[in-house]
Amino acid sequence: QQPVQSPQAVILREGEDAVINCSSSKALYSVHWYRQKHGEAPVFLMILLKGGEQMRHEKISASFNEKKQQSSLYLTASQLSYSGTYFCGTGEGGGADGLTFGKGTHLIIQP
Amino acid sequence: DARVTQTPRHKVTEMGQEVTMRCQPILGHNTVFWYRQTMMQGLELLAYFRNRAPLDDSGMPKDRFSAEMPDATLATLKIQPSEPRDSAVYFCASGLVTAGGPDEQFFGPGTRLTVL
């Protein structure tokens, strides 16, 4: 069963913050976040593991609430380059399980 | 600059024809995934391999799809016979599994398949 992402779409001004949520009905071992630009392949952002720490990459960070099976991606002081579709992919077991992806969140950053 | 390569990048075929898509994973990666992306269904896992052995192909229509890894540098996905509903972008991804658990999956550029 696919994880549920919210919101489906968001439009921001450059410099504003955004939060994208991912929720699953299954017990999760890992949550992976990817960004995809139109016509391109998904690009890895970060991975959160059960029992792991909150991750951060520059102005993008993410958290994983294992009890609620929820993850959130935080984009701080958004840049034009952040535009794209964000996907969360969930893994249920240790090892490189194939991921179950949400339907994505479309993010548009305007100047 | 290591990257996953896929061929062909685009394929247009007629219903009933056989389609073969190829993927070269990143050298040293031991796990290869096949995903399909459509507007309606999003990104779906079709199958994946570890050390060339198939671990899960439950996402594939068994009667027409087959996936193999003839060697560590080549993964193939075949559709026979193809149907219009198979039209999608097919992504191959590879990753390195260690005792530490799952890690980043590197996606190839995809094969855009159109079945008429």
Q: What is the pLDDT of residues A39-95, one digit of tens each?
A: 999 999 999 988 776 676 778 999 999 889 999 999 999 999 999 999 999 988 755
Which two three-digit tokens encode residue B111?
Answer: 């094969």
The pLDDT value recorded for residue A27 is: 87
Q: DSSP letters along B21-68, please? A: EEEEPPTT--EEEEEEEETTTEEEEEEEEETTEEEE-TTS-TTTEEEE
The yes or no reply on domain B5-115 and CATH 3.40.50.300 is no
Residue found by looking up tokens 């990817």 in the block: A34
Q: How far is A82 from chain B (nearest CA, A)?
A: 19
Q: Which residues of A touch B109 (CB under 8 A)?
A: 40-41
From A110, A102, A111, A91, select the one nearest A36 (Cα to Cα).
Answer: A102
The pLDDT value recorded for residue A96 is: 47
* Sequence spans of domains, chain B: 5-115
CA atoms of A48 and A75, how far apart (whole Å):
16
From A96, A109, A1, select the one nearest A60 (Cα to Cα).
Answer: A109
Provide the β-strand partners of residue A65. Answer: A70
Mean pLDDT calculated for residue range B74-96: 97
* Sequence spans of domains, chain A: 4-110
**Architecture, CATH, for domain A4-110:** Sandwich (2.60)
Mean pLDDT calculated for residue range B84-93: 98
A50 to chain B: closest CA residue: B101
CB B46 within 8 A of CB B60: yes
The pLDDT value recorded for residue A54 is: 67
Which two three-digit tokens encode residue A89?
Answer: 């992919």
Residue found by looking up tokens 């560590």 in the block: B72
Residue among A41, A98, A104 minimizing CB distance to B108 = A41
Q: Which residues of A touch B95 (CB under 8 A)?
A: 96
Q: What is the pLDDT of residues A6-38, one digit of tens each?
A: 999 999 999 999 999 999 998 888 899 999 999
Q: What is the pLDDT of residues B22-54, one digit of tens each?
A: 999 999 999 999 999 999 999 999 999 999 999
